[in-house]
Structure 1
Amino acid sequence: MKTVMVKKISCLVLLIVLSGTWLRAQYAGTAPVKTSPAVMAEFMDLRFGMFIHWGPVSLRGTEIGWSRGQQVPQQEYDELYKEFNPVLFDADAWVKTAKDAGMKYLTITARHHDGFCLWPTAYTSYNIMNTPYKKDIVGALAKACKKQGIRFCIYYTILDWYHPDYPVHITGGKIDPKADMPRYVAFMKNQLKELIEKYDPYMLWFDGGWESPWTDEIGRDMYAYLKKLKPDVIVNNRLGKEIAATDNKKIDVEKMIGDYDTPEQVVGRMNMVTPWESCFTICKQWSWKPNDAMKTLPTCLDIISKTAGGNGNLLLNVGPMPDGRIEARQVARLKEIGDWLKQNGEAVYGTMGGPYAPTDEYAATRKGNRIFLHVLKPGQTSLALKNIPGRKVLKASVLHGSAVDVQQQDGNIRLALPARSTGNYIVVLELDGDTSDIQVI
């Protein structure tokens, strides 16, 4: 009996060693080619996109992925796809909503942590074709985006609590010794190749890499694999562990795997070097929830201005209802944002952040010889800014409006703001030289 036990332990140790050897052999020396600076510059010029979290969980109105085994019993959650029949889904209507909001790209959760796939994948039966709906959601959105001139992007999670080969089967769960991580990584590669070849996404938005089965070594290999499939596909940094996330931490860019950072539910740190994109929900929950509290228009506009002012992009999330419609109140709020951007978009799209760092009173963007001051605080009658070294303010005015009195003396720029009861308007400073080389003040 003792000899048998020793042999079992020896086999287990050998299995662990071989697994480690497999990982090192598979991922050693990976040096992925980065997305070109020109492609990244174009992406950052877009500034504003739509995030969409959607799936069978909308039938319960609980959070996608995270409510599995929590608010919704695991078995019940995994069977929801059998009821999912969003007969009012209209891809063109969704994309028009994004376009009317002034959004330039759209990102759909093709697969979230619950493992359900919104496209007819060949690699798992847990997909849209086995619902009563039986139509390709991802394909319809890709087609609608192309038709309406919106960049089409795909969210794809790293973890999959549903898949038997992924070693964790529920949030906070123990490692399943019967799972097969190498086989799961191969499954991921097959699905990602399928998504790229079928839908040609502009960007891939990864998530879920925090659990221990996923390593930076696997992430680096996956990034390299994707760049071989499509060299200019943009990839966020959640293939690795180095992300700002919800705590908005300062990251080590050298350790980052991917093209840009992804602070979540918070405006990212001002950064003129490393590209970043904040993602926010328009309500509180990522997926649809009945009567979920929705952000006010001023709050949404503040986020847009502060994000652009920090030199970042904004990905604003909606969660469609189970019948396939985006709530009318959310569509209305997005239209209000779009109306504001029609008037003020030149202070957002294609700009650089700064040179003044965002505050609760204002944010600043710049282009050419102009600085756009986004006045955020209602009722402000004046604004004092530090002088810009080597530059003189020639004049100031409200964007598409009247002149603003400006005084430049004693090391400060002083503006007499118009009497407005609301914030979220733009004051333009015209300088006697280009603004692109001004350091952040």
Structure 2
Amino acid sequence: MYKTIDLCAGIGGIRQGFWRTGHFENVLSAEIDEYAARTYESLFKENPRNDLTSEEFKEVVAQCDYDVLLAGFPCQPFSSQGNLEGFGDLTKGTIFFHITQIIERRRPKVVFLENVQNIVSHDKKRTIKVIVDTLEKRLNYKVIGVSHEDDGVLKYNKDSFVRNTKDFGLPQNRPRAYFIAFDRDLYGELLDSDEFINELPRGLNTHLLNNPNLNKYLNDILDHDVDLHYYMSAKYLETLEKHEKRQKDNGNGYGYYILNSLDHHRTYANTIMATGGSGRERNLIIQTMPEHTVEEEASLRKKGGLNSKNVRMMTPTEWGRLQGFIGYGFIDSQTGKETFAFPKNVPESQQYKQFGNAVSIPVIETMAEFIYKQLSVLNKNYEVVLKNLDRREGGITRKSIAKTLQIKPENASYILRKLEKGKKINRTEKGRSTKYYFVN
């Protein structure tokens, strides 16, 4: 099983998506937001409170036995000073800079990064250029979706990296950028072969297409008889209506959005966001209010009372379903029971924020399965991989072969015997340890 480290971990959506494939297990995590860390610890029974920018944590990672680096890193501007030299200076001070330092100290087989879709156009496309150039040219990784022109120019566009949650079994319009990069030092020429797929998945894996917990419409994930406090006050709804009219009068399209109104009746939600209001107001629902007393309504202290149009916010649980956390990603495979729950000390405002910041688990699961299949294709050409491993580490052992190729020790021994018989490797023995070196 491949080992992952989970950086900028949030509440663990990337980790969970990889784990669900059955091919990956997580060995180290880093998250500095206290509320997110509480949820993460509750879900995975481990403390993720590590600062990936600290020298102490980087040293821990350098000693860590892992294969795939995961990070849902923030979109930050890179330096635009003209006198800076090299990619390191360009990225200095950003989370991406610290991630590259971690990669340099202990190279993973694969790097998986997730970000907002605007990263591909951010800062006049300068941000994406620095990221791709850093991975490809400085760190020597092959980035999926990037092709090399004859003149050495790296060719890619928005479609190379952006995929939408609504194409992966969840009713949410959520375009995000995904970067998958394989280590050229280890896999070399194999990354340019016809067998290696240079395009991100565009939809669910075949085995997920018929999953009963996916491919639902918006109405299928809505709660019924929700608490009154989710319904908007008459005053607030009136404010939103006036704001939308002003925007339209000024030629702007932004305003509140009722997903299931007669005018719209959408089958999927708009992007949910961590910023609170904007994400909630663009995902309003019309639903008959539960019966209630005048006293119950008065206790909510809503200006002007509750609105007369039955307009409400979506609940955190509904947001959890839109991301595949609730109703899919944490369902126990043995009992069929839902296991996702926030700890009691995480307030509702933070629940919205955490789901708004999170990834969509079926998308991640599909990307993880893609990575596993790519690694399996690469490892079939084990002689090329082991030659590169020998060159990098100064020799190979049965243990390093088993780990690199994800095979049993006895199978690693078989490969060594085959290579020795073909006179392709020599061995040196020091006590109990035996190392092998390729002849050429």
TM-score class, shorter: under 0.3
TM-score by length of 2: 0.26
Of Structure 1 and Structure 2, which has the larger fraction of its residues in helix? Answer: 2
User: TM-score, structure 1 length as denominator?
Assistant: 0.26
Greater strand proportion: 1
